[in-house]
Chains A and B, each alone.
Chain A
Amino acid sequence: MGKNRWFLPLTSFLGFAFLYAPILSLVIFSFNANRLVTVWSGFSTQSYVDLWNDPQLLPSALLSLQIGAIAASIALVLGTLCAVALVRFRRFRGKTVLQATVSAPLVMPDVITGLALLLLFVAMESIIGWPQGRGILTIIIAHATFCTAYVTVVVQSRLSDFDYSLEEAAMDLGASPVRVFFDITLPIIAPALVSGWLLAFTLSLDDLVIASFVSGPGSSTLPMIIFSKVRLGVSPEVNALATIIIGAVALGVIVFTITQMRRPRAKA
């Protein structure tokens, strides 16, 4: 080992505690009877009732879920095509440009992406009349665009580890390249595609800045509503919502990790 026996476990524990303490406090105080939320005064589920009755939070949550699903699906298709082009096609005009364009959203600050897309939509509207106003469609387009970058990274990483001789064997047996992709490549990289979709979905669900720039009246996403509520102070309904989201995510991640650990190592 590189250090004394106590150093690593201690720093790791402190690190994990740092990561989880605020989240845990969110969860705990969602059951707080006290509206000030940070002084415990008894168990109560009032926050959850308030959440249910809030006119904005749950409808915007539903909208965010819909937008997320559509944007993630578009991003999945575009990202997979990109990954295939970058990994399988040895050389083509503009390959470096494509690689750079696909990697840029990963590090580019949200404000730039959001502003740029909005200015584009405004300019497009005045020149060709589409898109008419900003709303759900523009948010979907914007999310699909930046999520494609993430999907590409995930699928690209999986494809470059992929045993190419399997594709050659399929071609040798009479499958055309398209056939090979659908019969052999796709089924085997399916877990990576699922990861990519989930990643895109989460990023879309979570995005505040870009959505703020490109949304229109009546199309406020969940992060936008949460942000407007919390910048004024503590909000118990948000705590309640956060607890539900954290619970759902935790369940999903736990289930996923368990299935991953159970599966026999049969990899290509």
Chain B
Amino acid sequence: MTTGPAYARPAARWDVVRRVLARFGISGRALVIAAPAAWLGVFFLLPLAVVFGISLAEKQFGRPPYSDLLTTEEGTVQLTLHLSNYIRVLSDPANIYINAFLSSIRIAAVSTVFAILIGYPMAYAIARAPEKWRNILLMLVILPFWTSFLLRVYALSGFLRGEGVINNFIGLFGIPPLTMMQTDFAVYVGIIYSYLPFFILPLYTNLVKLDPALLEASADLGARPVTTFFSVTLPLSMPGVVAGAMLVFIPAIGEFVIPSLLGGPGTQMIGRILWDEFFSKTNWPRAAALAITMLIVVVIPIMLMQRAQNAVVEGRR
């Protein structure tokens, strides 16, 4: 058997198409990038620019209910930018907006802390469980995630309300009903409840990759299990903790559903305020200004998260 016939040529038809496109500087690679980039550019980046633009307008009656930024009148083009919305957000006499931001951050932070305290042992237990059980336990964690977020919050409300399950239960012992609904407490519980799987999963992924030999080495060198946990496991799991915590903290700041269904009039969260500005007060520009401010507030934790992720990738801890 000697070396065979001349090497086969590729299909001719695509060659023609490829050559024509190449004339215009379009390669296959460019198309792969262009399709999603174009979509995201138009439907994600452009909207953010529009929000910024409208935040500089003023509420007025009509369709659409905001003033024009660019007006032409007798041959002159005028650009009118109103800073009134931002000024109002920052220096409202009752400080509703600033308070709402602060309380949103507070609520999100407290909920995140508790999510860590509850979720860490769960993630650790699943990671340390025997292989067969791990899949089942993971499934049990993921299952609530796949059911509707809204329905779960609704279920929680059924638990916490005046005539709800918990109050019925403690009523059996003669304890008077607790007011849990429409309080900050209910919102904490709601956020922890809804976001717990988001914390557990990244942490689990991190813990499960932990080399058991490290723990054995620590024990071999004389450390008790508690010491091993605090000096080996915990530091190494920090990237997972940070990743999971960010997945709870950042979205929680802008939450709307949970404060609406579980919180009271005193529970001011910025997501709900934005909704009211838009739907109840039809003040689109004000809502837009709030959105931009929220973005800025949220961007800082996002950058922290990116830095933590990059640190993991580069091998530092």
Contact = CB atoms under 8 A, between A and B. Distances in A.
Direct contact, A vs B (beta carbon within 8 Å): yes
Interface of A: 1-3, 7-9, 11-12, 15-16, 18-23, 25-26, 29, 36-39, 77-79, 81-82, 84-85, 89, 92, 94, 98, 101-102, 104-105, 107-113, 115-117, 119-120, 122-123, 126, 141-142, 144-145, 148, 174, 176-178, 202, 205-206, 208-209, 212-213, 223, 226-227, 230-231, 234, 238, 242, 245-246, 249-250, 252-254, 257, 260-261
Interface stretch (B25-33, B73-81, B84-92): B25-33
20 contacts: A11-B121, A16-B122, A22-B152, A23-B144, A25-B159, A38-B163, A92-B33, A98-B40, A110-B254, A120-B43, A123-B50, A212-B279, A226-B150, A226-B151, A234-B161, A242-B147, A249-B147, A252-B146, A257-B136, A257-B139
Contact of B152 (A16, A23, A116, A213): A23
Range of interface residues on chain B? 35 or more
Interface of B: 8, 10, 14, 28-29, 32-33, 35-37, 39-41, 43-48, 50-51, 54, 64, 118-119, 121-122, 124-126, 128, 135-137, 139-144, 146-152, 154-159, 161, 163-165, 168, 193, 196-197, 225-226, 228-229, 233, 246-247, 250-251, 253-257, 260-261, 271, 274-275, 278-279, 284, 287-288, 291, 294-295, 298, 302, 305
Contact of A22 (B168, B193, B225, B253): B193
B44 A38 contact: no
Given A12-B125, A81-B35, 16 more contacts: A2-B226, A2-B229, A7-B121, A16-B140, A18-B193, A19-B144, A21-B159, A38-B158, A38-B165, A102-B40, A115-B288, A126-B64, A145-B44, A209-B275, A230-B157, A257-B136
A231 B194 CA distance: 18
A94 B37 contact: yes
Nearest to B277: A115
Contact of A208 (B43, B150, B229): B150
A94 B45 CA distance: 14
Contact of B48 (A39, A98, A116, A141): A116
Contacts of A77: 35
A84 B141 CA distance: 30
A213 B279 CA distance: 9
A148 B39 contact: yes
Contacts of A178: 28
Contacts of B233: 2
Q: Find the residue from B29, B148, B197, B255 having the highest chain A CB count within 10 A.
A: B148
A9 B233 CA distance: 18
Contact of B250 (A107, A119, A250): A107
B45 A101 contact: yes
B8 A174 contact: yes
Interface of A, secondary structure class, is: helix
A243 to B, nearest CB: 10
Given A23-B147, A38-B163, A117 B47 contact: yes
Nearest to B132: A261
Contacts of A107: 246-247, 250-251, 298, 302, 305
Contacts of B144: 19-20, 23
Contacts of A226: 148, 150-151, 154
A20 B155 CA distance: 10
A231 B260 contact: yes
A109 B253 contact: yes
A250 B136 CA distance: 12
Contact of A119 (B135, B141, B288): B288
Contacts of B261: 230-231
Nearest to B139: A257
Nearest to B42: A120
A245 B155 CA distance: 13
